[in-house]
Each structure stands twice: as C-alpha cells, then as structure tokens.
Chains A and B, each alone.
Chain A
Amino acid sequence: MDNINTLIKKHLADKAVGSGLKRSKKCPSEADLTAYLHGTISEQKSEKISQHISQCLFCLEAIEQTSRQDMSIREPGPPRQVIERAKAIAKTQGSGGFYRLKKHLWLIGAVIAFGLSFILSKYFFQFLILTLILGIKWALDTANTRTLIMVNDAWHKHRNKDDQEKPAKKPSL
C-alpha cells in the first residue's frame, strides 16, 4: 500500500509541476472561498467552487495556507511603527463622501419630512410622526450609539462570564 501512496503522490506532483499557477477570472473571491469552507454557501455554488478548486492550485494554495494560520503565533509580528502607521489610515484616509452621505440618510429624510409637514399642512401630524420615526432611526443608527450598544453588550457578557467563573458562596453554618 505504501507504493500506492508514492504513486499517487508522484502522479499529482507530476501534473502540478509546470502547470503555471495564476489567479484567473474564474477564481472565486476570498469571501466565497471562505464561505465554501464553512459551508455557508448554496449547494449549487458550493459544487461550482468545488469543481474549480479541484482544478486550480492557486485557490488550493490559498486554502492550504489558512490551515496553517496557527503558525503565526510563533512568528514575530510587524514592528510597532508599522502598526501605528496602519492605525493612522483612519485619520489620513477619511471616511469618503458617499459614506458620510449614507451615514446621515435617515437625518436627511427626517428634515425633509419636517419641511413637508409645513408645506402640506393637511398632513401636518402624519409628517411630524414620520419625522420622529426617521429621527429615532437616525439616532439609533449612528456609529456612536451602535458603539455604545455593542460595548454595553460586550461588558454585560464579560460580567456574566465573571459571575459564572466565581465559586458559589458556601452557606454559613
């Protein structure tokens, strides 16, 4: 059986050598490949990706690399100044005009509804309610509020975990 193993190994290596690996347009995106590996993709798409990977060593190399990611623990990380430079991207690159507009979409809607409540005075209260709904939606959707909600959630989870880890008090005699 050992010889069979050698034969299979040699045959696959023989086919791989010189196959000129390159990323092609047919290669699935990293997101699709990850979803394929985690089984969070439709069966039809999974089959298509499966067929592609079985022929594409470029994708197989990428998949194989992910299985070795624990090795990163033993390797030195980037120098501190490189990390700080990456952090500074948030300040130097800005948020982008489209993003800023999208961020305040609910607020813009609320302002428009408020304006319309005066123009179409017949529907004053309806527009006022709409203004209120859109305003609340904007307030809840802003990054700061969402951050606070998430930090609060994480803090509560952390506290619950700590409580569970604490040994139960012994009943006093």
Chain B
Amino acid sequence: MNDLSDSQLINLCLDKNPLAWSEFIERFSKVIYWAIRDRLRRWGYQFQEGDVENIYQEIFVSLWQKPKLAEIKDKEKLSGWLVMVAGNNAVDYFRKKKRKEPKDITFIFKDLAFSNDNPLQLLHSRELKQTLESVLGTLPSKEKIVITLSYLYNKKHREIAEILNIPINTVSTLIFRTKERLKDKLEEKGIRNIEDI
C-alpha cells in the first residue's frame, strides 16, 4: 500500500477500502496534527492536547463519512488541501463546540502597525495613509496578494512564487513596480524624506 500514489490512495479510500484508509492515516497524520496545532497557536487559542486530538478525530470522521475527498481536483497535491481543512476545522471546533472566538486574531499584526502615540506623528500619518491607500488600495487583486504576502507575512519572493505558482521574476517586478509607484506618489505630495514623518 505504501507504494501507491496519493491519488490512487484517495480513490481507494473513496471505495472505503480499510487498508487504504490505514495507509492514508499513516501518511498524513503528522501534517494534519501539525496544521491543527499551528493554527490554534497562531490564532491565540488556549487549547489542551485533548482539543487537538478531538479535532484530529473529527477531521478523519468527516473525511470518511462525507465525500469530502472527492472534492479535490488535483489528487496528487493533497497535503496543501489537508492543511487548509485541518486549520479551518480547528477554528470551527472552537467556535461551535467551545463557543470561543479568538480575542482578535489580527493581533498578530499589531506590532507592525502605525504607532499613534505621538500626536504630531498622527497628523502626518493621516496624509501619508491616504497616499498609501491610493496606491496599495487600487492594486489589481493578484498584485495585492503578492504585496500582502511579502510585507505582512514576510514571505520571500521565491516563497510567494511557489505559493501562487507564478514565476519569481513576476513577483520581483511586481513588488519593485509598486514601490516605485508609491515613491513617485509620495514625491508628488512633497514627501521626499520619509524619515521626517
């Protein structure tokens, strides 16, 4: 069974083959378990090991009972899909079963955001924010995704290219072009020395 490709394994699991099911669990348990823990940790949930085990079990029950595995379009690229399913199931578990929402999952970006401690800085930053929004807010959707992955998630150009399945040169050009556009716009507004802000 361990010689079977992922897509062959899924087809057998869809046929409810118990041997294939055991192999499927052996093959993907680790990545599913990691995805649950990783999502809960990142989103700031307080969780016990028992919660992770319950979510893990629920995922496999739903994969066995519902034809969820049949939804996958490219069965050879299974692990990415499983990571998403596991992560989203972890969030759903806490929302439905424990009735717990994370305090504010966007807290992870808080340290990066503008500091509003200084009133003078706030005054300056308002105009600056408008300028930034006029460039970044009007980007085509794909470009916006690239910029967000690069700046908010600190992804390298190579990583973004791999995630979005696009050439690395496209990623680099896109980021460079956005920065240039923003620089021009800031200069238009008379903001030449950004350190003054």
Contact = CB atoms under 8 A, between A and B. Distances in A.
Contact of A87 (B25, B39, B73, B132): B25
Which DSSP category, helix, strand, loop or mixed, fits chain A's interface? helix
A76 B144 CA distance: 35
Interface string A49-60: 011011001001
A61 B107 CA distance: 13
Contact of B30 (A5, A38, A72, A90): A72
A33 interface: yes
B169 interface: no
A137 interface: no
A10 B114 contact: yes
Given A18-B106, A90-B64, A146-B12, A4 B194 contact: yes
A147 B100 CA distance: 43
B86 to A, nearest CB: 9
Given A17-B106, A20-B106, A40 B3 contact: no
Contacts of B91: 23
A49 to B, nearest CB: 9
B163 A50 contact: no
B4 A151 contact: yes
Which DSSP category, helix, strand, loop or mixed, fits chain B's interface? helix
A38 B165 contact: yes
Given A67-B159, A82-B56, A154-B5, A7 B88 contact: no
Interface residues of A, number: 76
A89 B24 CA distance: 12
A18 B61 CA distance: 34
B102 to A, nearest CB: 9
B61 A93 contact: yes
Interface in B20-75: 20-22, 25-26, 29-31, 33-35, 37-39, 42-43, 52-53, 56-57, 60-61, 64-65, 71-74
A67 B163 contact: yes
A12 B152 contact: yes
Nearest to B36: A78
Interface of B: 1, 3-5, 8, 11-12, 15-22, 25-26, 29-31, 33-35, 37-39, 42-43, 52-53, 56-57, 60-61, 64-65, 71-74, 77, 79-81, 83-85, 87-88, 91-92, 104-107, 109-114, 128-129, 132-133, 136, 139, 141-142, 144-145, 147-149, 151-153, 155, 159, 162-165, 178-179, 182-183, 186, 194-195
